A and B are shown apart, each in its own frame.
Chain A
Amino acid sequence: MPTSQSSAPPAPASAGQQQTLSRPSMPIWSGRRAQVVLPVGALIVALALPFVFDMFFGYSAGFQLHRISLIYIFALAAFAQNILTGYAAQPSLGNAAFFGLGGYLVAWIAGDLGQPFWLAIIIAMIASAGVGVIVGGPALRISGAYLAIATIGLVLIASSLFDFWDTTVGRMSYDINTLPGVLGDDHSLYYVVALVTIIVFAAGAVLLRSRIGRAWIAIRDSESAAQAFGVNLTYYKLLAFIVSAALTGLAGSLYAIWAQTANSSMSSVDETIVFLAMIVVGGLGSLLGSALGALFVGFLPLLLGQLPSPLNVGGLSIQVSTLTTGIYGLLLLLALIFFPAGLASGRDALKSLLARRAHVGGSNE
């Protein structure tokens, strides 16, 4: 028995139940308030952070900000993986290949060839998108389990080739020796990275609510129905591969600038795990989840860094640095087992719980 929306102040408990019956949980970004408050709040925090750090950390503020910048870069990579896997439902493990490609191209074009960095980054994105087409085309023919293994193969090919390039030239990693002032200074680098990330997330939020984003979600929910309603599977899956590759290339080139070096471990299975961990822990198919996942991945090593090293447990002496990846794997495992929909789903659950409380308390919207 559905209730009308414009009812008089309802009797507390039963009305609360009816409300949740007729209006079940809303998806993220659907509430007006969430649409405005969350991004604006995030923007203010992001821009104010350097000032807060200056006050609290003094001389080490730059160092601390540099660490935070990495979280933005990871958030970009997570978003890229989420578009491909969380929205368009392509279980690709190959994004680390583009991460390395972006890094090496920036090191080469800007570092060695002396071109401007913005140009190098754009070229890196276009090149990644191009490789994305070359990879995405065949990937459309390969499904499920096979795709996962084939794309891991792609990461391996990329890392072999980067390794090969390094050893042929005779270097350990591809260092970027000269950075322009804007990218060399911790504070301004933070602003550049934060700004790029915020723009990408804002544009992404608009995109995912558009015809294009709906087509991706439709493919994820039902390929047959998507086709029956005019969605060209080949085009949209390929588009997801391209967008994801370009964004991962962007993240990779920012990472190389951030680290002032690119090396073949940027394209490794471990890096792939990091990307996947972020979207699985944060939430598949959730924009907010990508950011949460990056926070998780970014802060965990910082927290573990607070532990004394080596750590003595029952006669074993353990290096904390080796522990990081293990704990990270363990948390990822636990998250997969207990929160199959990711952290962002916890937020939804919390929201509906709070909504129920409010109704039980007798207040109305």
Chain B
Amino acid sequence: MSDRDSAGLLSVRGLTVRFGGLIAINALDLDVPAGGIFALVGPNGAGKTTLLNCISGFVAPSEGALTFDGVDLLTVGRHRRAALGIGRTFQNVQLFSSMTALGNVLTAQHAHLHATFFTSLLPFGPAIAEDRRAREVGRSTLALLGIEQYCDAVTGTLPFGVQKLVGVARALALRPRLVLLDEPAAGMTLTDVRQFAESLRRWRDELGVTFVLIEHNMALVQNVADTVCVLDYGRKLAEGRPAQVLADPAVLEAYLGTAGRQEGAHA
């Protein structure tokens, strides 16, 4: 128990990912402690999303180890990682766009539901009872994010900002221990970002969820992150408290120096 705590909730050891000749992640070591907000920053192409995709199983690393709460993640199929308590959002949202918001948060609970094909055919019985409970969980998750009024709205028709919130709701409805957020604040207004930061801290404290956050918005990172890790060319450049890491001259040169240009390209 104490061993595990010292290694953190998620530990990355010697992780290397190669795409053909390109090295996206290079012998990376990381420890994400339980119960915090862990921010991953770095210029585009630094390997942040690749790391996320390794954790949720969409990219198989060439070398190294990934351990989540003592479980060797690399032996777990990607559709089984949700059951371990790993939820995520996607940079391009990837909602189940023909479903309602409630449908999305219901689908997110797939791994926790056990109805089989035959019980699912009946309009009564265990499958229906289980579904009713899942609906309650779903509704309260939407309420937690303040988007319960979109409960029955088809998500493909919603404004982009709301879609991103549904994406976060979907990750939280899984009742996760670890949530991977891929640029949640991209495209948000300043007020929205401030509100989002507040919510993130509340979810961390109230739900006890650990967040891994990829973000280019430094104000948000500075505001919410307990730990910041800077990646550059698939290597760790610096790690520590936000105030101290983001003031590091090496980080400023490698990342923030080019950030202005990239933000411009984004807009």
Residue contact B120 to A207, C-beta cutoff 8 Å: yes
Q: Are A224 and B94 in contact (CB under 8 A)?
A: yes
* Interface flags, A188-221, vs B, CB<8A=1, else 0: 0000000000000011001101111111011011
Checking B81, B96, B131, B152 against A221 with a beta-carbon cut-off of 8 angstroms, the contacting residue is B96
Cβ of A285 within 8 Å of any chain B Cβ, yes or no, is: yes
Q: Are B78 and A211 in contact (CB under 8 A)?
A: no
Contact in complex: B90, A224 (CB < 8 Å): yes
Chain A residues contacting B121 (CB-CB under 8 Å) are: 203, 206-207
**Interchain CA distance A157-B101 in the complex, whole Å:** 44
Give the chain A neighbours of B81 by CB distance below 8 A. Answer: 228, 230
B79 touches A233 (CB 8 A): yes
Cα–Cα distance between A222 and B174 once the two chains are bound (Å) = 17
List which B191-241 residues lie within 8 A (CB) of chain A. Answer: none
Q: Which residues of chain B from 144 to 187 have a CB within 8 Å of any chain A CB?
A: 149-150, 152-154, 157-158, 170, 174
Binds A, one of B11-19, B110-118, B257-265: B110-118
Q: Is the CB of A2 within 8 A of B111?
A: no
CB of A245 within 8 A of chain B?
A: no
Cross-chain contact B95 with A222 (CB below 8 angstroms):
yes
A79 to chain B, nearest CB (A): 14
**A227 and B107 form a contact (CB under 8 A):** no
Give the interface centre of A4, A22, A23, A218 by most chain B CB atoms within 10 Å. Answer: A218
Indicate if B123 sits at the interface (CB-CB under 8 A): yes
**Does A26 reach chain B (CB closer than 8 Å)?**
yes
Complex Cα distance, B113 from A212, in Å, reads 10
Q: A228-B82, A233-B79 are in contact. Are A285 and B98 (CB under 8 A)?
A: yes
Known: A229-B82, A229-B174. A211 touches B113 (CB 8 A): yes
Q: Give the residue name and chain of the B residue nearest to A213 (CB).
A: B120
Report the Cα distance A209→B122, complex, angstroms: 11
Across the interface, do B95 and A24 meet the contact criterion of CB distance under 8 Å? no
- Does B49 sit within 8 A of A, measured CB to CB? no
A251 within 8 A of B: no
- Asked whether A230 lies within 8 Å of B79 as measured between CB atoms, the reply is yes
Please name all residues of chain A whose beta carbon is closer than 8 Å to the beta carbon of B33 when the two chains form the complex.
Answer: none
Query: In the bound complex, what is the Cα–Cα distance between A206 and B157 (angstroms)?
Result: 25
Interface residues of B in 119-149 (CB under 8 A from A): 120-123, 127, 130-131, 149
B103 interfacial by beta-carbon distance below 8 Å: yes
Known: A27-B100, A222-B94, A224-B90. A232 touches B79 (CB 8 A): yes
Partner pick for A228 among B56, B97, B152, CB 8 A cutoff: B56
Produce 1/0 per residue, A1-25, CB < 8 A to B: 0101100000000000000001111
Q: How many A-B residue pairs have CB under 8 A?
A: 125
Query: Which of A213, A214, A220, A243 has the most C-beta atoms of chain B within 10 angstroms of its own C-beta?
Result: A214
For B158, give its contact among A4, A24, A212, A217 (CB under 8 Å): A24
* Chain A 230-244 residues near chain B, CB threshold 8 A: 230-233, 239, 243
CB of B111 within 8 A of CB of A224, answer no
**Is the CB–CB distance between A210 and B120 below 8 Å?**
yes
Which A residues are CB-close (under 8 A) to B95? 221-222, 225
Instruction: Flag whether B108 is at the interface (Cβ < 8 A).
Output: yes
A215 to B98, CA, bound (A): 12
Q: How far is the CA of A22 from the CA of B103 in the complex (A)?
A: 17
Expressed in whole angstroms, the minimum distance between the Cβ of B149 and any Cβ of chain A is 6
B120 and chain A: residue at smallest CB distance: A210
The smallest beta-carbon distance between A247 and chain B, in angstroms, is: 12
Tell which of A5, A25, A229 touches B108, judged by Cβ atoms closer than 8 Å. A229
Q: Which residue of B lies closest to A243 (CB)?
A: B117
* B127 contacts across to A, CB distance below 8 A: 210-211
Q: Residues of B contacting A225 with CB < 8 Å?
A: 90, 94-96, 170
Q: How far is the CA of A231 from the CA of B87 in the complex (A)?
A: 13
Interface status of B83 (Cβ within 8 A of chain A): yes
How far apart are the CA atoms of A218 and B98 in the complex, in Å? 9
Chain A residues lying within 8 Å of B107, measured Cβ to Cβ, are: 214-215, 217-218, 226, 229, 231
Partner of B154, one of A26, A224, A231: A26
Using A27-B100, A217-B99, A224-B58 as known contacts, say yes or no to A206 and B122 having CB atoms under 8 A apart: yes
**B residues near A27, Cβ cutoff 8 Å:** 98-100, 154
A39, chain B: closest CB distance, angstroms: 11
Residues of B within 8 A of A (CB): 56-58, 77-83, 87-88, 90, 94-100, 103, 106-108, 110-111, 113, 115, 117, 120-123, 127, 130-131, 149-150, 152-154, 157-158, 170, 174
A-B contact pairs, 24 of them (CB 8 A): A22-B149, A22-B150, A23-B152, A24-B158, A26-B152, A30-B100, A30-B152, A206-B120, A210-B127, A211-B113, A211-B115, A211-B120, A214-B103, A214-B106, A218-B107, A221-B96, A222-B96, A222-B97, A225-B95, A225-B96, A229-B111, A229-B174, A230-B83, A232-B79
Leading 6 A-B pairs by shortest Cβ distance: A230-B111, A230-B82, A210-B120, A221-B96, A24-B157, A225-B94
